Structure 1
């Protein structure tokens, strides 16, 4: 799914617990909180009753007040809590609707759910059926929930008074669209089992009721699953990008195949109370005080969860603002990753997450520890695409600690990045003319890219002459300097066009290739600065493709199947028609020689659907990136805020709508990473996004605006030491990570085209 809160569509399936938070307005956040806890279910069997949700609500209310939320801004719907309304379906929907209607920019809205979750079959023909590939809706059970029964409107039956995931999602979408920040907590599951801890009592209870626990016949479930598994006749439109992802963060108590428990906590201590384990760990971290980001909060909860003997689930975090400060309060900006444990010193980050051979990290005892609390330091010794092996070193006056001592840490925090990758650029100024502005600009650029002692890492460019192999070719034609892909380095660039066809050629070239135009008042210094920024973006896109090619399809062969479908004018094309599209293209609109085009030619308004199937028995994390001909990188999956974990035997459909705003060679890159450890969080590579390069008319100094954090972080465009052609041996491709690249040419049809 690719809309803003697709995460909530799978929230109960991803299980349980979501938080959504948003940044504050300049004058400080206007907090509003809705805390929902359901402990008693009069309409369900005695075995379905809980004890912890009422305690969760009171604990979270106390934490929010401690963190600066006014008590009057907190609304509680919970049974067993003095002064609270009952958490019925009607009351919950009313309060969610009121929050949505009143939400505005500057609001900071916290919503929590604690209670039972379950799954119910999707009725035949339901308008939301396409959003549930497993054929089951995830539901939260309010206090007045009742079991399965047939009605005139639902002859097959329906669960009465449940709260559907899409009902919650619709209200939260409205809040996010208003500009408010949302923090939603789900501490519930979609199935239930009684389990025991090491003692003989029933002190651990799972917050889940299976479909059969609601009295749903297995035949009804089987029919719903079969309907969801049936082939779909056409590609759905309008899902290419979320309409309004908003600023949001989501935390989930467990994955789709797991259960989240409640139990007496703190475990083994007196006094204690029954709490949901996830809520307890979350509150415990927040009660520690101090500023932290959502990513730090999640990493700390994850580490504590992994060290808890009663843990039966793996929390997941998602959202558009994981690096924002919790509750909009002050927090340092840090780059850190969880340690993988298992008796070795390794971080859950690698070539694609800004760790390179030679990078230095501090090993910290917790995700929220101060730098001064470092157990010691380590250097990245070896990287794969998703992991980094570390070795202890002496640094900052601390001696090299024993590996076994550092392996007890929680996170590795980046303190010194390694030098980035080399990027090769060819230059051809032969068609620039006399007094070429680009000549002195190139001299400045080459001088600036030469490394100097004590300089921070810069993009290391290797400059080569015209006609030599390069990652990008800079070719000047009169007042324009084009950034060309390698295959177009020898292109005439419209210089051989007739007077009649040259305007068309130049217009299409503009659509597919970025350039710098030497305008009135342009200076060599400003032009060099502009080119430096554009080359950084180009290097980033090219190195994503380079890394993908290293992994090849090895990881896909055993576990992952991908299928590409193309629909044009309402009809699905065959593979032969894809290739025919290149022959039918008007040559005036085909960038570069035909030999450089892929065997697939697409047109504006074509619809493409990529289906990724997990054939294996273990889950993997999926990221799909679209890289256009002007080096733009657009995440197509997951949608903003979505959880990107694909469970065993599950599939994901990623719809794309082709536009001809940018034409030329474009690629879709599919990365799949198997989770390296049971306690590890998801790996979402959407942060690699960047806008397409635009043609820039250089008029004056050309100084660039301040880079955002992501671009500054990746301005070197290096995602792993040794990934250059001559150093591939430094990077190994793990069998649990795979990548696949689909390439096509976007063009316009010729007069003879048919489909």
Structure 2
């Protein structure tokens, strides 16, 4: 075997986790009939959904024998009862080996209930449940539903697969879907239109579910897997049909086609988008979003009082599709764009790391999936939108073409500028738009001094960065032991520079109904508190025995995209929200009368030590990916960032933004 052949074999083994016999498997669950409930609550499409998804997966290379179907009304399929679903998950987990790929698909009704047994409480206080065929209502005490699969149960199954180094793609074509893997009420199903073109919505209130039915107690459930603590979601992607408060429709698809039949909208869009052979999960999700507008416009005219669904994606969307891999194909964002005449409008702007004059790669995707590319230069950038001219070589393409834009490089204004007479530490890993560049003495933010065997020293030349340094470090700089520590420090300083830029951009914005309050507590009560935007960190300095917590409240009446990131005394970045880097950062909707709220512990904030905390939020745009503003981060010791989910912001909402950078100076604890 030649050296080149051996190298190729090694790369293949690494891509599959070292398992040359990696297998793709799927569990498809469709619940059309709720046998303990009135037929008015039944659905039509889930049985069609699982068959469409099965056909789609086989076309993608799945072996038919490795696709398990649980659905009513499907020949040869087991009934989708709660016990059978858990048994199928257990078998799938037992079959799975390191390097395998698993799809977990669920189509049917979702609902929300109060479940005080959950460790992770949702911001709106409600827990999502998927209704199996034998679902019943709760008794007077409330809690989890008999025959309902809880969000926390799905989370345990997913983490069990991830613990075996299995890649998991989850799809939930249900209402109340966006929190289904983590632990105002949905409206009832509704028929409209003629019998051959009715629309039904996949959402029921828990109170609508009858608790009556067979008097015998339900059979014992399949034991759930042991909770796998600390398992990163590096090999995980999930698509949800709607946000937690929304319902999603089923209707005849494709619209006006002679062979159309009832389908879930997300299921149909996923199947259609896969025909375009997307390279990454982001490409697939953007393809799904491109199919929604004409259907949504039609439904808006028929149901003007309804809030129609916004699909949500989470996980590492930049990974190659249908592969067990943790290395993204690209680390730069991809933004969808809309064409109007000779201009392209991006639903991203200064908050996302764009700046006027920046070079961009424009991709035009034709109806047959063929892509044409060209380079262009950004002409204008506002907080949440940007504009550029259509490159001349793409000007003649049809108006129906979908467009996307990717930056050719990181913006110069966000770069950490380093003065050094020797080579900088290698292996830097940063989320866009943060970067590190060499610079002359006059422009440098940091000076790097290589001390040889003694390590090195980072001298902070920028006053803004020096303010976040450790006690006593300003005169001589930050001394590091080796290149690995220097790399961590440089990454944190580069991210801190971008975070400071974000706070500056957002400081004059307002997000009506959103609030972030820092609380200082002891073991029993709140001692002091203040709004993050209205206080200096020194006013809330910690004393021995005290701890800090952040309370976030969303009473804006809409979902928001939220990022909370801290920098501890050692300069290490701490992700507060989303806490798990495999989760989306879309925070649930609340109203002024009933706000969605969540409390976050800040254990890394210590008495007598400097620190920073960035809180940034904007209204979520319907039918878009969540956006991390370039502030999402893995722990600084992690060699690669695992999540790069970036989305859009509509121009008319660009002033609706909440941003605050809270800084604790290096005070001495009393």
Report the 3-state secondary structure (helix = DSSP H, G, I; strand = E; otherwise coil) of the residue aligned with 2:36. Answer: coil
Structure 1 residue 515 and structure 2 residue 479: aligned? Answer: yes
Is 1:284 matched up with 2:272?
A: yes
Which residue in 1 is equivalent to 2:548? Answer: 608
Partner of 2:283 in structure 1? Answer: 296
Structure 2 SS opposite 1:566: strand
Distance in 2 of aligned mates of 1:102 and 1:624: 39
Question: SS of 2:441's equivalent?
Answer: strand
Report the Cα distance in structure 2 between the residues aligned to 1:105 and 1:687, rounded to whole angstroms.
32
Aligned to 1:560: 514
Q: Which residue of 2 aligns with 1:272?
A: 260
SS in 1 for 2:354: coil
1:332–1:542 CA distance, 2 compared to 1 (3 A): closer
Given that 2:175 and 2:203 are in contact with CA atoms closer than 8 Å, whether structure 1 keeps it comes out as: yes
Q: Is residue 548–residue 669 contact of structure 1 (8 Å, CA) maintained in 2?
A: yes
Equivalent position of 2:355 in the other structure: 356
Distance 1:597 1:562 in 2: 14
253-262 vs 378-387, which deviates more? Answer: 378-387
1:223 paired residue number: none
| Aligned: 1:204 with 2:179 | no
Using the alignment, how far apart are the partners of 1:265 and 1:72 within structure 2?
27
- Would you say the 8 A contact 1:366–1:411 is kept in 2? yes
Alpha-carbon shift at residue 561 of structure 1 (Å)? 1.0
Q: Residues 349 and 382 of structure 2 are in contact (CA less than 8 Å); yes or no, is this contact kept in structure 1?
A: yes
Residues 251-400 of structure 1 correspond to what in structure 2 (within 5 A)? 251-288=239-276, 290-308=277-295, 309-310=297-298, 312-319=308-315, 321-328=316-323, 333=330, 335-339=333-337, 345-366=344-365, 372-374=371-373, 378-394=376-392, 398=393
Between the aligned partners of 1:47 and 1:569, the Cα distance in structure 2 is: 51
Q: How does 1:37-56 map to 2 (within 5 A)?
A: 37-56=30-49
Following TM superposition, by how much is the alpha carbon of 1:58 offset from its aligned partner in structure 2, in angstroms? Answer: 1.1
Q: How much does 1:611 deviate? A: 1.6
Given the superposition, is the C-alpha separation of residues 551 and 88 from structure 1 closer, same or farther in structure 2, using an over 3 Å criterion?
Answer: same
Match of 1:620 among 560, 565, 570: 560
The answer as to whether partners of 1:345 and 1:406 remain within 8 angstroms in 2 is no
Q: Cα distance 1:68–1:200, how it changes in 2: closer, same or farther (>3 A)?
A: closer
Corresponding position: 1:136 with 2:126 = yes
Partner of 1:678: helix, strand, or coil?
Answer: coil
After superposition, give the CA deviation of every residue in 1:293-315 in whole Å (9 maximum; x if it has no partner).
11110011011112324563221
Determine if contact 2:619/2:657 at 8 Å carries over to the other structure.
yes
With the length of structure 2 as denominator, give the TM-score of the two structures.
0.75
Alignment deviations for residues 558-592 of structure 1 (CA, whole Å, 9 cap, x no partner): 3321101123455543259x9xxxxxxxxxxxxxx
Aligned to 2:180: none
Aligned-residue offset at 1:317: 0.5
User: For residue 656 of structure 1, what is the aligned residue in structure 2?
Assistant: 601
Asked whether the equivalents of residues 345 and 390 of structure 1 are also in contact (C-alpha less than 8 Å), the reply is yes
Q: Distance in 1 between matches of 2:90 and 2:28?
A: 14
How far apart, CA to CA, are the structure 2 residues paired with 1:633 and 1:364? 34
| Structure having the higher Rg | 1
The CA distance in 2 between the partners of 1:82 and 1:489, in whole Å, is 65
Change (3 A) 1:324 1:513: farther
Secondary structure, aligned partner of 2:207? helix
User: Which residues in structure 2 correspond to 1:165-564 (within 5 Å)?
Assistant: 165-190=151-176, 191-195=186-190, 203-215=198-210, 244-288=232-276, 290-308=277-295, 309-310=297-298, 312-319=308-315, 321-328=316-323, 333=330, 335-339=333-337, 345-366=344-365, 372-374=371-373, 378-394=376-392, 398=393, 401=395, 409-414=401-406, 416-417=408-409, 420-421=412-413, 442-443=420-421, 459=437, 461-464=439-442, 471-472=445-446, 481-485=456-460, 486=462, 514-516=478-480, 535=490, 537-556=492-511, 558-564=512-518
1:408–1:604 Cα change, 3 Å: farther
Secondary structure of 1:160 counterpart: coil
> Cα gap change, 1:571/1:69 in structure 2, threshold over 3 Å: closer, same or farther?
same
Deviation string 1:371-426 (CA, Å, 9 cap, x unpaired) is: 8524x6542122234432223344xxx27x39xx7975533232633751276869
Larger RCO of the pair (alpha carbons < 8 Å, separation 6+): 1
User: 351-360 or 78-87, which moves further after superposition?
Assistant: 351-360
SS, match of residue 91 in structure 1: helix
Inter-partner Cα distance in structure 2 for 1:517 and 1:623: 32
Give the deviation of 1:215 after TM superposition: 4.8
CA contact (8 A) 1:359 1:379 kept: yes
**Kept after mapping to 1: 8 A contact 2:104/2:170:** yes
Distance 1:29 1:746, change over 3 A: farther
How many Å separate the matches in 2 of 1:681 and 1:91? Answer: 33
Tell me, what secondary structure is at the counterpart of 2:154? helix
Q: List runs of 5+ in structure 1 lacking aligned partners.
A: 1-21, 218-240, 428-441, 447-456, 495-504, 519-526, 579-595, 695-706, 714-730
User: What displacement does 1:445 show?
Assistant: 6.5
CA distance in 1, matches of 2:518, 2:371: 51
Asked whether the equivalents of residues 23 and 327 of structure 1 are also in contact (C-alpha less than 8 Å), the reply is no
Pick aligned residue for 1:92 from 81, 85, 91: 85
Quickly say closer, same or farther: Cα 1:354–1:662, change in 2 above 3 A.
farther
Q: Do 1:300 and 1:366's aligned partners in 2 also have CA atoms closer than 8 Å?
A: no
For residue 636 of structure 1, what is the aligned residue in structure 2?
A: 576
**Pair 1:84–1:408, CA change in 2 (3 A):** closer
Q: CA RMSD in A?
A: 4.5
Query: Aligned in 2, Cα 1:534/1:411: closer, same or farther, shift over 3 Å?
Result: farther
Task: After superposing the two structures, state which structure 1 stretch, 565-574 or 537-546, moved more.
Answer: 565-574
Deviations 1:462-516 (A, max 9, x none): 4239xxxx7446689996753255559999x99xxxxxxxxxx9xx869x97435
Tell me the distance in 1 between the aligned counterparts of 2:15 and 2:192: 40
Structure 1 counterpart SS, 2:55: helix
Q: Contact 2:189 / 2:202 at 8 angstroms: preserved in 1?
A: no
Aligned-partner Cα distance in 2 for 1:604–1:692: 27
Relative distance call for 1:200 and 1:114 in structure 2 (3 A) is closer
Partner of 2:7: none
Distance, in Å, in 1 between the alignment partners of 2:447 and 2:197 is: 69
